[in-house]
A = this chain, B = another copy of it.
């Protein structure tokens, strides 16, 4: 089934699905508004796929979106590496067989209307599987959206992506990979991901899994050098034993975050209509996740935020959290949520308190949370205080509120008739060098994650500097506490299985 151990990742059979040399597209047209395939073809083109290697197949049209179209796959000048089918279900069988006749070995079937749609659909699925066996075809789907690969033929090609999904937005490139039974979870979230700084490398919509399943892709990602963290959206697990063994093997090296969508009555009904899967009891999945070190959630936002913080690969050594704020209120709220999540907010030693006293205004209480009250000494906030906390060894992670965009504040000041601050003509880039780089070096060296909160929001230029530098920043203070708690949970899992830390 896989050649991975013999010949490396590039020879894994799934590599062709993510990095096809050529692609035949069945069912795309020029009519974007009544044809889902039109946008999918558009996205393949706009990802930078070599145009002369995209072959639209259409019974009537000669030209589709500027590309020469062929009547059937038999007419193509070569055997395409990948067949991509977005036709009505009753048309799929014929073209699938033609793919087989042509010699195509890899097919993605987008079309819905199979086992999730009653007996007729189930029979159709069965016939597809028979043909696949006959012609030795491997296929993804049916009832999926295909793949997104930000590392298309990387590192040979540096700047192209393959996007077969309907969603035209593409996420910033990073080493988070997604495998999902839902095309929505695999693609509709791209806007959100770009907004909050979730950088995705691969996203795979696996649909009904009549052939290739989640376990296959998990196995592929295990050895993928462009995958550091894995996100799973699960409606069912077809090969439970293999899944557990593989997840146990992967999760200590590449953290896995999962959503299991089944487990309640309406959810299971919905899943039956969606991918036709029979969803099992929530408790079974909970115990599988626990056993394999998988971080799980029912929330789509948690899911992406968790993936985001894991992608930094800075795992705390324990669950002691230090909080620095210029606001008592948000400090108290964070403390409460942290304690409810089982985290510890240690009181600082006298030695550390003595150090911190130098960096805070006289009205501030030296405690944890450390409330700086109002102050503009950015260097203390960004460098001196977190450095003292990290070097003390008394905390395993730090949350800092608030990272205000100084440039924007200066613009306001300039327009307000007060004192001029021409001496502060600093750019955000300079500030990044001054305030973020030094502490990031320490963060990495000591393995103490530092999260920031920037209340001006994700579109603020200073907040974007954090995101561009891949430094975790949040708009408000709920999520960083939850994120630290899952890092601590993962750390705890590593300790249990290793008796020691990672690194």
Q: Which residues of A contact B (CB under 8 A)?
A: 29-34, 36, 38-39, 42, 45-46, 65-66, 89, 112-113, 116-117, 166, 168-169, 180-185, 188-189, 191-192, 195, 233, 235, 259, 261-267, 269-271, 273-275, 298-302, 327-333, 335-340, 345, 347, 363, 365, 367-369, 371, 373-374, 376, 402, 409, 412-413, 416-419, 421, 424, 455-457, 459-460, 475-479
Contact = CB atoms under 8 A, between A and B. Distances in A.
Max chain B Cβ within 10 angstroms of own Cβ: one of A182, A261, A418: A418
Contact of A273 (B182, B339, B367): B367
Contacts of A418: 29-32, 38, 42, 65
Given A182-B328, A327-B183, A270 B371 contact: yes
Contacts of A192: 455, 457, 475-476
A336 B65 contact: no
Closest 5 CB pairs of A and B: A182-B329, A274-B328, A184-B327, A273-B365, A266-B345
B369 A298 contact: no
A264 B457 contact: no
A221 to B, nearest CB: 20
A146 to B, nearest CB: 13
B266 A335 contact: yes
Contacts of A33: 376, 413, 421, 424
Contact of A267 (B263, B336, B371): B336
A477 to B, nearest CB: 6
Given A65-B416, A367-B269, A477 B331 contact: no
Contacts of A166: 374
A195 B457 contact: yes
Contacts of A182: 327-330, 332
A431 to B, nearest CB: 15
A100 to B, nearest CB: 25
A274 B185 contact: no
The copy count of this chain in the complex is 2
Contacts of A31: 418-419
A287 to B, nearest CB: 17
Given A265-B345, A269-B347, 17 more contacts: A30-B418, A30-B419, A31-B418, A32-B421, A113-B363, A168-B412, A183-B327, A261-B329, A266-B338, A266-B345, A267-B336, A274-B371, A299-B478, A300-B333, A300-B478, A301-B478, A302-B478
A300 to B, nearest CB: 5
A264 B340 contact: yes
Contacts of A36: 374
A174 to B, nearest CB: 19
Nearest to A378: B33
A264 B333 CA distance: 10
A329 B266 contact: no
A335 B264 CA distance: 8
Contact of A189 (B299, B302, B476, B479): B476
Nearest to A270: B332
Contacts of A301: 476, 478-479
Given A32-B416, A365-B116, A419-B31, A331 B299 contact: no
B112 A373 contact: yes
A382 to B, nearest CB: 16
Contacts of A65: 416-418
A376 B345 CA distance: 51
Given A333-B300, A340-B264, A419 B327 contact: no
A335 B267 contact: yes
A381 to B, nearest CB: 13
Contacts of A275: 328
A161 to B, nearest CB: 16
A412 B41 CA distance: 13
B335 A298 contact: no
Contacts of A300: 330, 333, 476-478
A45 B415 CA distance: 12
A266 B369 contact: yes
Contact of A188 (B263, B266, B402): B402
A271 B328 contact: yes
A335 B497 CA distance: 35
A479 B301 CA distance: 9
A350 to B, nearest CB: 16
28 contacts: A31-B419, A32-B418, A38-B418, A39-B413, A42-B418, A65-B416, A89-B363, A112-B363, A112-B373, A166-B374, A169-B456, A182-B329, A183-B327, A185-B330, A191-B457, A192-B457, A195-B475, A264-B335, A264-B339, A266-B338, A270-B367, A273-B367, A298-B333, A298-B336, A300-B477, A300-B478, A301-B478, A302-B478
